């Protein structure tokens, strides 16, 4: 029987696996754990405490924090009393927080620490309650500690809490998830219990078959819908253990600490792993490079057989020719297992979402015997629309459409979807809601196509298609993805709308560029000076030329602008999910871009640095 709400979903897991570890994390040098039954008890206490201090049904409550068990407790506790959670990225500045607080009618907030509290106060928005997870010595009238609210709930005799949860239905609003605002103000996407549950039901067994024994390493923020579904609700519906990384820089250490079996990530992390391995091989001995490249070629050959095998072959485990199977065993011992040990030794599946992954990088992981499954979706779709199944995952695509989702491609190539996971609209924004739908179909804003086997391929955002003055159309995302494959380029942005040709802005990957420069005796004290060095300019130009050769001539950038300052979330160039804020970057360097186009030469690449 289907459950009616996310509380029933979690309760079912608690009854089946009360002693399974729900969460584990590092705190002050030691590993902390919480079992499912204890998690449920804490949710009940916190929910009762929230009711006691006056949080009523339909109240909008912000959660501003990095991922931790108290985030999850807050989420389920609010849902259980019919309040509405409004996650806010902890990395965004106070002016953006202020907009969300006002737009979503927020009356209370649960914050991680004093830093987030100060950001909240800086907005000037008056709230009824502020609850702090990790308190410091602060004497503020409307501030309460998380522990105090939990303790208050523990002293109240509310025996009807679980019974009340049973009356919450699928149509009830669960959360308002704000879009990342890459091209404008964030929009508050309304998602119901039914939206989330439908997505879980659609994806179950579609990806890696998740088990109660599985361990996930989570590092993405829960304020991002991809992690909230794939690294939170979905896993808690099964009884899986969620391990929280301290931060993105500690992931290599966290992999060895928690030995996860599965991991979710945006493409950027996989790109960094790929470029790091490529850089290590480039600097390794000739023998090491030869063995590694041989092993990769064996893995690539195996992947081709895997992709074309029948179900009968999978069942009988004989889809590999004997000669290839023997070579694979040798490659596994020499290369694959060593690579997997660096990732904790137990990974059996990686899931990529939140952006388009380079096909070559996906194939690279498969060649290392680490299945990498790419999916696709949006905040408005809860989020998963399609995903590669573990059987016949096709690199370069975002997989097949979930069984409970309808999809069609419009005449202009836009992807349109229907299904029980689709939002009803944007909070306090009827105009944008109306624009988002066409005869009941949600307009994703993405251009895509289905191949002959029903796999979906994303081409680019509809609004990002560049129309050149020559009449040619260029989808910049595939070109950028190819350029980002370089070990020496962190991010790239291709521009050229209404121009004769496209050019690219590139942000160097200093982690690899600085060692390269030191090896050649170059001065690396100043990043701007380094980028002005002719050798560096030549290197990055050659990387762009090499990596974009496969595209048509008019899609190949004719000039390269090197931006020496790193693009970051704090700098405003990246969204919290590490996507480029294209409009902001183009506007910031508008004069520089214009000056490059005014130069007469178009037949060679000229590197220009900007601080």
**241-268: pLDDT as tens digits:** 999 999 888 999 999 999 999 999 999 8
Question: What would the two tokens of residue 481 be?
Answer: 């993805």
* 176 assigned to some structural domain: no
pLDDT score at 47? 96
Instruction: Give residue-wise pLDDT tens across range 495-537.
Output: 999 999 999 999 999 999 999 999 999 989 999 999 999 999 9
Residue 105 shares a structural domain with residue 131: yes
* 193 assigned to some structural domain: no
Distance from the first to the final alpha carbon of the chain: 59
Count how many domains the chain has: 3
Q: How far is CA 525 from CA 38, 92, 500, 518, 521, in A?
A: 52, 30, 38, 10, 12
Contact 11, 40 (CB under 8 A): yes
* 315 assigned to some structural domain: yes
pLDDT score at 319? 85
Residue 62 shares a structural domain with residue 119: yes
Tokens 């108290």 belong to 70
Last residue of a domain, one of 446, 462, 478: 462
Residue 591 shares a structural domain with residue 546: yes
What CATH number should be reported for the domain holding residue 494?
3.30.300.30
Residue 437 shares a structural domain with residue 561: no
pLDDT score at 184? 64
Residue 143 shares a structural domain with residue 228: yes
Residue 525 shares a structural domain with residue 386: no
* 133 assigned to some structural domain: yes
Residues of the chain whose pLDDT is less than 70?
A: 137-141, 157-158, 181-184, 205-208, 600-608, 610-611
Alpha-carbon span 284 to 278, nearest angstrom: 10
Residue 163 shares a structural domain with residue 284: no
- Which domain does 532 fall in, by range? 465-610
pTM, to two decimals? 0.90
Contact 567, 589 (CB under 8 A): no
* 253 assigned to some structural domain: no
pLDDT score at 155? 85
Residue 45 shares a structural domain with residue 117: yes
pLDDT score at 441? 98
pLDDT score at 28? 85
- The strand pair at 503-508 and 437-438 is best described as unpaired
Q: CB pairs under 8 A, 24+ apart, for 547-554? A: 547/482, 547/483, 547/485, 547/486, 548/479, 548/482, 548/483, 550/482, 551/478, 551/479, 551/482, 554/468, 554/470, 554/472, 554/474, 554/501, 554/502
Residue 493 shares a structural domain with residue 356: no
* 245 assigned to some structural domain: no
Residue 429 shares a structural domain with residue 524: no
Alpha-carbon span 608 to 585, nearest angstrom: 16
What CATH number should be reported for the domain holding residue 421?
3.40.50.12780
pLDDT score at 138? 67
Q: Which residues pair with 217 in a beta bridge?
A: 243, 263
Contact 141, 126 (CB under 8 A): no
Tokens 């201090």 belong to 53
Q: How far is CA 289 from CA 232, 283, 337, in A?
A: 39, 9, 16
pLDDT score at 185? 80
Q: Which of 418, 8, 32 is nearest to 244 (CA)?
A: 32
Residue 491 shares a structural domain with residue 423: no
pLDDT score at 569? 83
* 378 assigned to some structural domain: yes
Q: Which residues pair with 23 in a beta bridge?
A: 34, 242
Quick count: other Cβ atoms within 10 Å of Cβ 440?
9
Helix (H) or strand (E) holding 530, with range, is: helix 527-532
Residue 286 shares a structural domain with residue 417: yes
Under DSSP, is residue 581 helix (H, G, I), strand (E, B) or coil? coil
* 112 assigned to some structural domain: yes
């Amino acid at each position: 029987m289907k459950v009616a709400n996310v509380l029933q979903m979690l309760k079912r897991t608690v009854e089946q696996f009360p002693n399974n570890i729900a969460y584990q994390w590092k705190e002050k040098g030691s590993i902390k754990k919480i079992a499912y039954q204890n998690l449920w008890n804490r949710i009940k206490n916190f929910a009762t405490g929230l009711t006691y201090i006056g949080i009523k049904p339909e109240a909008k409550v912000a959660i501003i924090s990095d991922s931790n068990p108290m985030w999850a407790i807050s989420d389920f506790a609010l849902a259980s009393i019919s309040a509405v959670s409004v996650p806010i990225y902890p990395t965004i500045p106070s002016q953006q927080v202020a907009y969300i607080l006002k737009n979503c009618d927020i009356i209370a907030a649960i914050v991680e620490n004093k830093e987030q509290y100060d950001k909240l106060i800086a907005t000037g928005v008056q709230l009824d309650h502020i609850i702090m997870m990790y308190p410091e010595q602060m004497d503020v009238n409307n501030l309460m500690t998380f522990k105090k609210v939990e303790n208050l709930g523990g002293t109240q005799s509310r025996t009807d809490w679980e019974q009340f949860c049973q009356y919450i239905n699928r149509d009830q609003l669960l959360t308002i998830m704000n879009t990342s605002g890459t091209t404008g103000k964030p929009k508050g996407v309304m998602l119901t219990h039914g939206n989330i549950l439908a997505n879980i039901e659609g994806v179950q067994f579609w990806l890696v078959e998740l088990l109660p024994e599985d361990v996930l390493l989570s590092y993405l923020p829960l304020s991002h819908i991809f992690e909230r579904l794939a690294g939170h609700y979905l896993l808690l519906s099964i009884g899986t253990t969620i391990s929280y990384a301290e931060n993105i820089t500690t992931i290599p250490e966290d992999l060895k600490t928690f030995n996860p079996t599965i991991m979710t990530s945006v493409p950027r992390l996989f790109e960094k792993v790929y470029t790091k391995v490529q850089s290590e091989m480039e600097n390794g001995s000739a023998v090491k490079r030869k063995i590694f490249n041989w092993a990769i070629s064996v893995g690539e050959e195996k992947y081709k057989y895997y992709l074309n095998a029948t179900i009968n072959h999978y069942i009988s485990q004989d889809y590999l020719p004997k000669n290839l199977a023997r070579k694979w065993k040798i490659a596994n011992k020499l290369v694959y297992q060593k690579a997997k040990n660096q990732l904790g030794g137990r990974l059996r599946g990686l899931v990529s979402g939140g952006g388009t992954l380079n096909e070559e990088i996906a194939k690279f992981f498969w060649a290392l015997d680490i299945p990498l499954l790419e999916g696709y979706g949006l905040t408005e779709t809860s989020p998963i629309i399609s995903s590669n199944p573990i059987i016949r995952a096709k690199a370069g695509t975002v997989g097949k459409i979930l069984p409970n989702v309808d999809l069609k491609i419009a005449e202009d190539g836009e992807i349109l979807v229907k299904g029980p996971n689709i939002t009803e609209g944007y909070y306090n924004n009827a105009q944008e809601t109306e624009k988002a739908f066409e005869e009941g179909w949600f307009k994703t804003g993405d251009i895509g196509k289905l191949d002959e086997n029903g796999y979906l391929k994303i081409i680019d955002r509809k609004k990002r298609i560049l129309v050149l003055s020559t009449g040619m159309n260029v989808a910049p995302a595939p070109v950028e993805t190819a350029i980002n494959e370089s070990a020496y380029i962190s991010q790239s942005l291709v521009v050229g709308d209404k121009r004769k040709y496209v050019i690219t802005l590139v942000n160097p990957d200093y982690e690899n560029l600085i060692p390269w420069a030191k090896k050649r005796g170059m001065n690396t004290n100043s990043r701007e000076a380094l980028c002005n060095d002719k050798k560096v300019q030549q290197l990055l130009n050659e990387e762009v030329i090499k990596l974009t050769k496969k595209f048509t001539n008019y899609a190949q950038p004719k000039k390269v602008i090197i931006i020496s300052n790193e693009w970051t979330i704090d700098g405003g160039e990246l969204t919290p999910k590490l996507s480029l804020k294209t409009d902001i970057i183009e506007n910031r360097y508008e004069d520089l871009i214009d000056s490059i186009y005014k130069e007469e030469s178009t037949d060679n690449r000229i590197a220009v640095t900007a601080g």
